[in-house]
Chains A and B, each alone.
Chain A
Amino acid sequence: MTDVQAILEKVTTKYGKQRSALMPALQAIVKEKNYLSDEDIVAVAKTFDLSTAEVYGTATFYTFLDTVPRGKYVIRVCKTISCHMSGKDEIIEALQNTLKIKVGETTVDKKFSLLTANCMGWCHKGPVMLVNDDVYPELTPQKAIEIIQSYQQK
């Protein structure tokens, strides 16, 4: 059994095989594998008896369901107004310099992807970023770098 099938089995045991289990299935795969590959979507389509285009169309609607390869740690820096006002540009620049990648790219060791995202609900404590599910508000460039360094050591 491939990993993806193990993931799907777990999800369908809990949520069933109806369409309403699709989101949990896609989310579970992304959580484990960081993104949805061509083969993953085929596996999902088979499981739920949907067309692959339909699953692809659903996945691509959602920003967090990536369909391009991502690193182990996906960094999403909030780019919306309050974080813009409180200095997200400096955070992004610090991260780009530290990781030696641009926004949208993944490090060669496939450890980090650097992305931006829309409002994350920390407008009073910006700038903010997510590293996978973990949230880091009230960033300074220095703090952001330290956080990434702590992941580098993981």
Chain B
Amino acid sequence: MENKLKKVDLIFCKTCQDDIEVVRKALQRNPDEIINEIIDSGLKGRGGAGFPTGLKWKFARAQQSDIKYVVCNADEGEPGTFKDREILDVVLTTVLAGMAIFAYCIGAKEGYIYLRAEYNFMLNKLNATVEEFNKKLKDLGLSFEIQIRSGAGAYVCGEESALFESIEGKRGEPRNKPPFPTVVGLFGKPTVINNVETFVYTAMINHLGAARFKELGTQDSRGSKVFSISGDTPKAGIYELELGMTVEDFVKEFGDGDTKAVQVGGASGHCVPRKKFENTIIGFEGIPTGGSMMLFNSSRSMYNVLKDYLEFFTEESCGQCTPCRVGCQQLLKGIEAVKRGERPASYLEELKKLAQSMRIAAKCGLGQSVANPFISIVDNFKEEIIY
């Protein structure tokens, strides 16, 4: 079978070095026209959840409010994900251009980039670029100013409403939804929040047109996406790939010849075992992903992998809702108890049911998605968990 994996060079390409020029051109267009083009492109959020970007913009534009905000989510914390750091490092001005175009579309005056504390080493450089960019926007006559706010070590702040709480100076606890951010977001105002990568694609679509973007990908998963590839692979790193490949295609390119499982979508994603490589598509029709691909070869214990993930969630849960706060602890203690023989193997079935309850009853995406790694690893590697 032909390998459909296709490397792409849109995000980091050098065809649009002058991002301010992209903004200048956009300012000459009608905001509705810009938004419709984004809708037409089929672009979905690149942070992992995959909400259609154009629609989000449309909702925010429709809101009547003097104050609106544009927020760039640079709180990349999903284990296995590191592409946003690279994007910020290499093409920050394109991110800023995406934010500016969007601000123009909805009439926002202020923008925030929420940068995870672990990336503070870039802060001075980023601040300087942002400052310079703000000046250029002013020269263009666009009243929009961007500032960077740092996180302080809390994975859950990548959840959009938790991120707002954090910027507002509070504990990063996710809010109840509805209302959604496009209606009540940062400081209670209509807000659009997108992932770093999404802003870059919106700028690219503006620059190159939706058609160029639509040439790539599949019906449900348009375009390309930046992947963070790690684990047991000789080619660990950051790659922009066309969406729609199978895990099989992916492993052929990136595996070390002994790949037994691929964790798609980071700790909160799904574990795909070898027998399912062929039939699993990476994209919204298969397994959606924020771009993390972690490969495991046969030397790895999937019990250890799952335990690592659960330890991570147990610590990084905000702690407010019962299913997530206590559920994570029970899943972790549960597999440990089974491993030690203190609970029977059948207890894993109880834990799977619990994970299902967490999936539908937790307050935010963090607690809801713990079921993904748990069920996929327990189902596919049961022996490794028990013995």
Contacts and interface: CB of A to CB of B under 8 A. Distances in A.
A130 B229 contact: no
A7 interface: no
Interface of A: 18-24, 26-27, 48, 57-58, 61-65, 80-82, 84-85, 117-126, 130, 133-135
Nearest to B299: A85
Q: Which 9 pairs show the lowest CB-CB distances between chains A and B?
A: A63-B153, A22-B169, A62-B152, A124-B236, A64-B153, A123-B230, A19-B169, A119-B79, A61-B171
B168 A20 contact: yes
Nearest to A80: B79
Contacts of B80: 81-82, 119, 123
Contact of A124 (B84, B153, B169, B237): B237
Nearest to A64: B153
B164 to A, nearest CB: 10
A69 to B, nearest CB: 18
Contacts of B119: 121
B79 A27 contact: no
B232 interface: yes
A121 B77 contact: yes
Given A20-B168, A134-B121, A82 B77 contact: no
B171 A57 contact: yes
Contacts of B300: 85
B152 to A, nearest CB: 4
Interface stretch (B208-216, B273-281, B308-316): B308-316
B174 to A, nearest CB: 12
Q: Dominant SS at the B interface?
A: mixed
Contact of B294 (A20, A65, A82, A134): A82
Candidate in A19, A48, A119 with the most chain B CB atoms within 10 angstroms:
A119
Contacts of B150: 23-24, 27
Contacts of B238: 124
A119 B315 CA distance: 12
25 contacts: A20-B187, A22-B170, A23-B149, A23-B152, A23-B167, A24-B150, A27-B152, A58-B169, A62-B152, A80-B79, A80-B267, A81-B79, A81-B312, A82-B294, A85-B231, A118-B153, A119-B80, A121-B84, A123-B292, A124-B229, A124-B237, A124-B238, A130-B118, A133-B121, A134-B121
Contacts of A122: 82
A119 to B, nearest CB: 4
A71 to B, nearest CB: 17
